Amino acid sequence: MRASSVDHYILQALEESSEHITSAQIYERVRAHLPAVNPSTVYRALERLAHNGKISISDLGRGAMVYQSMNAGAHDHLVCQRCGEIIHLEHDRFKEIFSALEAQYGYRMVTNHLVLWGLCPACQSESEAGG
Amino acid sequence: MRASSVDHYILQALEESSEHITSAQIYERVRAHLPAVNPSTVYRALERLAHNGKISISDLGRGAMVYQSMNAGAHDHLVCQRCGEIIHLEHDRFKEIFSALEAQYGYRMVTNHLVLWGLCPACQSESEAGG
DNA sequence: ATCGCAAATGCAATTCTTTGCATTATAATA
DNA sequence: TATTATAATGCAAAGAATTGCATTTGCGAT
Ligand SMILES: [Zn+2]
Ligand SMILES: [Zn+2]
Ligand SMILES: [Zn+2]
Ligand SMILES: [Zn+2]
Q: Which SS3 state, helix, strand or coil, does residue B54 take?
A: coil
Cα–Cα distance measured from residue A123 to residue A70, given in angstroms and rounded to the nearest whole number: 30
Q: Tell the CATH topology of A73-131.
A: Dna Ligase; domain 1 (3.30.1490)
The per-residue pLDDT for range A18-63, each reduced to its tens digit, is 899 999 999 999 999 999 999 999 999 999 999 999 999 999 999 9
AA letter at A108: R
Q: Which residues touch strand D (CB under 7 A)?
A: A 1-2, 4-7, 34, 36-38, 40-41, 44-45, 48, 63; B 2-3, 22-24, 39-40, 43-44, 46-47, 63-65
Check pLDDT > 60 for residue A98: yes
Nearest to B94 by CA among B67, B113, B66: B113
Q: Which SS3 state, helix, strand or coil, does residue A57 take?
A: strand
Nearest to A81 by CA among B51, B67, B73: B51
Chain B residues within 8 A of A105 when measuring between CB atoms: 78, 87, 118, 120
The per-residue pLDDT for range A56-86, each reduced to its tens digit, is 999 999 999 999 999 989 999 999 999 999 9
Domain spans, chain A? 1-71, 73-131
Average per-residue pLDDT for chain A: 94
Chain B residues within 8 A of A101 when measuring between CB atoms: 78, 89, 116, 118
Q: Please state which of the four CATH numbers 1.10.357.10, 3.30.365.10, 1.10.10.10, 1.10.1060.10 is assigned to the domain occupying B1-71.
A: 1.10.10.10
- CB atoms near residue B62 (< 10 Å): 12
Instruction: Give A11-56 as a DSSP string.
Output: HHHHHHH-S-EEHHHHHHHHHTT-TT--HHHHHHHHHHHHHTTSEE
Say what the pLDDT of residue B4 is: 74
Q: Do domains B1-71 and B73-131 have the same CATH topology?
A: no
Measured CA A82 to C1' C25 distance, in angstroms: 47
Residue with more model confidence, A114 or B125: A114
